[in-house]
Structure 1
């Protein structure tokens, strides 16, 4: 089967042995796979190991075979992959055995994958293969950050620094679906327009004076994945006693901030990553109830996976970049 792998420090498309279902597993014939920013950093983390590793966390396809003991799924079922491995019940933090699919396990950028039956869910019927394949990791990340950690509710105002990421497009739609007000930032006027098209109430320039732009707003919750470049600026517009949730750091990891200002402001700071299977199922139900869809930026064939990576790395996308595995 064809797969996009890291091998000896290089990314390449190559033939790999087809997987077989062990007891408790299913083999999924993948139709499409969503690319996440996490995937871009895997070559550096994997290093120059000679064994080819299939990367990729998100995907959707049709069950081709089932292993011994599998009763919840059958040949021909249309499914999505849950990349949050071995995290079943909602909890304050992931269990020690938690990991993300795509390293060290073989991932989804391949024609087939063998995976535990507990890591697949029925594909939303109203979604295309490209939409369903780009769903789990970013939508689950956004859902947990927004509702489990951020406790967003109707009437709250949400502030999102950065409007174009896959997670941000889910955050906007989730927040609007429960009656919240949404404010985003972007360096791109086009991304600001796109954000408003999918529900954002206000979109401001990243390099603008945020306190001045938002002087008439009361920001209840900030969800930030940028890191050092925006953390203190976000605190400057967050209301006293407000909540800030961090799920990533695309700029520097380390942040300096004024502790006295922080505790006098009674701010609440939460970390968040991915989510449990319980939250994934709640998220899928929420999306179906509101007929929400992933925002797809561009679709590439598997053989052009490197071009897809380059496109995502450029930061020019709005929404998800997807690999089409099979028609």
Structure 2
């Protein structure tokens, strides 16, 4: 089968190669991939910035396809089903936090950027019928991350003001759409006028250019502050967010692309009783609840661009350069 693997001997660090499919173990299925999608963790693997990376591993966490083969003990009803894959493995029984054995499909085990992928049958869910293959492939990792941030960590309520920073990436676009679907008043930020226009077309209340020195004052004037902020940048922007979150509000971050803050304005945090919460991926329950919301509200992921497997380097470079508006999808 064709597969895109990590290969640090290549200039691109990627290799489109032919791999031998392994035999199924009990409880496993083979899914013929119709579409797969990139996440930032794939680019981090390419850069060598992800733990325990290994050359020769098939990258990719997101995928949708048709069950082509089932292993011993798997119900026959799964055969030929159209499915999406939950890429979170071994979350465990604690809804509060993942177990020590938690891992994500695509490193260190083979992922979805291949003509087929082997996964435990309990990772499968019916493909939402209102979605194309490309849309279904775009949903799992980013959708799950956004949903847990909003619903479990944020516990957002109808009518609350929320801010989603960095609109344009996969998680941020889902956080905006899920927030609107849950009845929140959603605002977002970006330095791209085009991305902010796209956000307005989805129904957000307010947009802010975070490179505008006055965006904090404007946000406070318009909204009087946010109940919940969803962020992936952190760095020194954390101190900006503590200025626009309401007393008693929550700042929830699922990434730290700008690294650690060089300083922390602790007095504002404790005096205003601000809650700063980390989050990542989500439990099996989060995934099921996310799917229910997506199907009930007929939410469609935003697709930036669809590439062939042979164009993998272009797809990865587009993510690296931050040019995407929505999810980058690859098809065999």
TM superposition score normalised by structure 1: 0.95
2:15 matched residue in structure 1: 12
Runs of 4+ more than 4 Å apart: 45-51
1:29 matched residue in structure 2: 32
Which residue, out of 207, 212, 216, partners 1:211? 216
- 1:231-267 deviation digits (Å, cap 9, x = unpaired): 1111111111111101101111345212122101110
Q: How far off is 1:47 after superposition?
A: 9.4
Report the RMSD for the aligned CA atoms in angstroms: 1.7
Unaligned runs of 5+ in 2: none
> In 2, distance between residues paired with 1:320 and 1:55?
16
Question: How many residues were matched structurally?
Answer: 325
Instruction: Report the CA distance shift for 1:199/1:255 in structure 2 as closer, same or farther (over 3 A).
Output: farther
> In 1, distance between residues paired with 2:318 and 2:257?
16
- 1:192-250 deviation digits (Å, cap 9, x = unpaired): 00011112111111112222111131311111101204211111111111111011011
1:192 matched residue in structure 2: 196
Kindly indicate whether the alpha-carbon contact (under 8 Å) linking 1:161 and 1:230 is maintained by their aligned counterparts in 2.
no
> Are positions 1:116 and 2:123 aligned together?
no
> Are positions 1:130 and 2:134 aligned together?
yes
Kindly indicate whether the alpha-carbon contact (under 8 Å) linking 2:168 and 2:326 is maintained by their aligned counterparts in 1.
yes
1:92 matched residue in structure 2: 96
Q: How far off is 1:71 after superposition?
A: 1.8
1:261 matched residue in structure 2: 268
- Equivalent residue of 1:70, what SS? coil
Q: How far off is 1:120 after superposition?
A: 1.3
Alignment of 1:1-327 (within 5 A): 1-9=1-9, 10-43=13-46, 44-45=48-49, 51-71=55-75, 73-87=77-91, 89=93, 91-208=95-212, 209-214=214-219, 215-217=221-223, 218-325=225-332
Kindly indicate whether the alpha-carbon contact (under 8 Å) linking 1:89 and 1:278 is maintained by their aligned counterparts in 2.
no
> In 1, distance between residues paired with 2:319 and 2:76?
36
TM superposition score normalised by structure 2: 0.94
Range that drifts further, 49-58 or 299-308: 49-58
Kindly indicate whether the alpha-carbon contact (under 8 Å) linking 1:7 and 1:49 is maintained by their aligned counterparts in 2.
no
